[in-house]
Structure 1
Amino acid sequence: MTDKNESIPLKAVIVGYDGVGKTSLILTYLKGQFPSDEVYIPLVTDAATLHHCGHKGRQISLSIWDTGSGIDYTEHRHQSYKHAHLCMLLFDVLCDSDIRFELTVSQWLKDIRLFSNDVPIIFVATRADLRECSEQVGIKVLTSEQCSDMALKHGAVKYMEVSALRNEGVAELFSEKMATGNDIDIKCVVVGNDGAGKTCALITLTTDFQLDWGPELYVPYGFLIMHNFKKRGELDNTPLCVEFWDTKGLEEYSRLRPLGYPGSHVFLLFFDITDSRESFEEMFSFWWSEIRRFSSDVPIILVGSKIDLRYNGLATISTVEGEAMAKKIGAAKYMEISSLLDKGLTELFEEVASIGYHYKRKKTVRKTKTKCNVL
C-alpha cells in the first residue's frame, strides 16, 4: 500500500468542445473565483497545472490536462489520454435539441475510448446557473434529469453540475475526481490450457455481455499473446482496479507468455472439470512449474471451470480432487465457477482483489524494510 506521506500522482484529462468552459472551470478551482478579467489563449494541451491536496488522509498530486477540441489538435489531444486515471466530459446546459446532445456525447466518448478504453469518465454539465434565467430570455436548456439519464446510458461513473461563474460545485467536482481516480491497481495473470474457459469467464465477469456460450462463439485474439480486461471494485471501502491479463495456453507460446508475468500480484490457474487426467495433472507438471520459474512467490488461485457440466454427468474432476491439486501446488485458494450460469464469478473477483491486494501490500512493506542508508 502507498505510504500516506508519499504524494500519489493523479492525471485528469478534461475534454469538450471549445467554449464549453473547460479552462474557466480549472482556473476557478485553482484561484477560488471566476477568471472574469483574464484573457485566455487556448493551447493544444495545457498540462502545466499541478495542485496538491488531501483526500481520505492521502496526499494527491493532481495533474489537470486542459485540451483543445479542434480538428487540428486531434493528434495532440489523443496523446494526452495515455496513462490518464480519469476523464471529465464537459458539455454546456445550453442545447437546442436532444439529438445534438446525444451526438455531442457520442462523439466525445468515441474520441476517448479510441485511445483509453477503460478510463472512468465523469459527465459534467457546465453553466448550470443559466437554468434560472432560461425562461425569461427564451433559451432552451438541458434538464438535470436529461443529463443524468445520458450519463447512466453511456456508463459514466458520475454525473455532476457546476457553475464556474458562481463557483458552485467546482470544489466538489475535483474532490470526486480524486475519489474516482485513486484506485489501487492489482495485476492478475490468467493462465491455463486453451479451452479451459479463461476468456469466457473474464468477459462474463467484466462486462454485461451474456451469450449462450459455446466453442463456436469464441473469437481468438489472432496475433495477440495476451489480452487485458479490467474491473473496478472496493475492498474494505478502498477503491481498487483489477487488471486481468488473459493469456494463450498453447505450448508454442511458452517463450512469449511469461513476458506478461512481471509485476503480477496474483495468478488464476484455470482447468476444465471435464479435462482428461493427463491434462489435469499438467496443473502441477507444466503450469505450476512455469509460474514458479518466473514468479517465485506470487499467490495462485486454482479455478475449476464449467461446473454446470457436472450436473450433466460430464465432469471427470471432482471438487475433492480440485482441492487436493490446490494443496499440491500450494495455491492460496481453490474455487469453482460456471460462466454459463454466471456462478462463482463475483466470489472469484473478491478473492482476486483480497489476495492480490494483501500480496501487493506485503511486497511494498518488504521493499521498505530492505532499504539501506549509507552513512
Structure 2
Amino acid sequence: GQEDYDRLRPLSYPDSDIVLLCFSTTSKNSYDSVQEKWNPEIKHYLPNTPVILVGTKVDLRDAKLEDKNAEKTEYVTKEEGVQLQKEISALRYMEVSAKTACEEGGGGLQDIFLECVKTVLTDLEEDDEGGDSGNSESGASRQSANKSNARRGGCVLL
C-alpha cells in the first residue's frame, strides 16, 4: 500500500543536490499537499537542499479557464504558485506542460532541468570559492561525502 512508499521514500533522499516539488495546476488537493505533506518531509530530510516549485499541466488549466462552458473547477493560478513558493521558501516557481513542451520542442521541461543544473553548479562553485550560498551542507561537504562513497547516486524521480 501507500504506507510502504512513505517508509521507503526517505531512502532516496541522501546526497540530493536539489529537489523539484511538483503539483498539478488542475488540482487544489495536489497544491495543498505540497504545503501539508511534501515540503515538511523535504525540510525534515533535506533541510539545506534548494527547492524549485513546479506547477504541472498548465495546458489543461489554461484551456479550462478560457472555455466559458467548462465545468467550474478550482484551478491553481500562477499567482497562487508564486505565493506558495514564498511560503515554503523555494528558490523559484516554474510552470510547465509536458504536452505543449513536447509539441513545441521541449522548452518548458528543458528550462526546468537547466535551472536545476545552474542552481547545483552555482552552489558547487560558491563552495569551491569559499563562499556561502546559505546551504551549508550543499556543495563541498556533500561533494566530499560523495567522493568517499564507493557508489554514486543518480537522478531519482518520486
TM-score normalised to the size of structure 1? 0.31
1:75 positional shift: 2.6
Pair 1:153 & 2:90 matched: no
Q: Partner amino acid for 1:109?
A: N
Of the three residues 40, 45, 55, the one matched with 1:115 is 45
- CA distance, structure 1, for counterparts of residue 27 and residue 62 of structure 2: 15
In structure 1, distance between residues paired with 2:43 and 2:62:
34
Corresponding position of 1:207: none
Of structures 1 and 2, the one with the larger relative CO (CA 8 A, separation 6+) is: 2
Higher strand share: 1
| Residue deviations 1:22-62 (CA, integer Å, cap 9, x gap) | xxxxxxxxxxxxxxxxxxxxxxxxxxxxxxxxxxxxxxxxx
Q: Tell me, what secondary structure is at the counterpart of 2:47?
A: coil
Q: Which amino acid aligns with 2:88?
A: H
Structure 2 residue 33 is the aligned partner of structure 1 residue 94: no
How is 1:193-342 mapped onto 2 (pairs within 5 angstroms)? 231-232=132-133, 242=136
In structure 2, relative to structure 1, the CA distance for the partners of 1:158 and 1:93 (3 Å cut) is same
- Cα deviation code 1:318-361 (max 9, x no counterpart): xxxxxxxxxxxxxxxxxxxxxxxxxxxxxxxxxxxxxxxxxxxx
| Structure 2 gaps, min length 5 | 102-106, 142-158
1:76 — aligned with what? 8
Pairwise CA distance, 1:186: 5.5
Deviation of 1:115 (Å): 1.3
Q: Match of 1:174?
A: 113
Distance in 2, matches of 1:72 and 1:117, equals: 23
**1:162, distance to aligned residue in structure 2 (A):** 0.5
Q: Does the 8 Å contact 2:48/2:136 carry over to 1? A: no
Larger Rg: 1
| Alignment RMSD | 2.9
Contact 2:24 2:31 in 1 (8 A): no
Following superposition, the deviation at residue 164 of structure 1 comes to: 0.5
Retained in 1: the 8 A contact 2:25–2:31?
A: no
Give the whole-Å Cα distance in 2 for the aligned partners of 1:105 and 1:84. Answer: 20
CA distance in 1, matches of 2:84, 2:26: 15
CA distance in structure 2 between the partners assigned to 1:232 and 1:74 by the alignment: 31
The 1:96/1:85 distance shift into structure 2, 3 A limit, reads closer
**What SS does the corresponding residue of 2:52 show, helix, strand or coil?**
strand
Find the partner of 2:34 among 60, 80, 104. 104
Distance in 1 separating the partners of 2:119 and 2:28: 31
Q: Specify every segment of 5 or more residues in structure 1 that has no aligned partner in the other structure, as ranges.
A: 1-68, 189-230, 234-240, 244-262, 265-375
Which structure has the highest helix share of the two? 2
Whole-Å Cα distance in 2 between the matches of residues 88 and 113 of structure 1?
Answer: 13
Q: Verify the 8 A CA contact 1:93 1:127 in the aligned structure 2.
A: yes
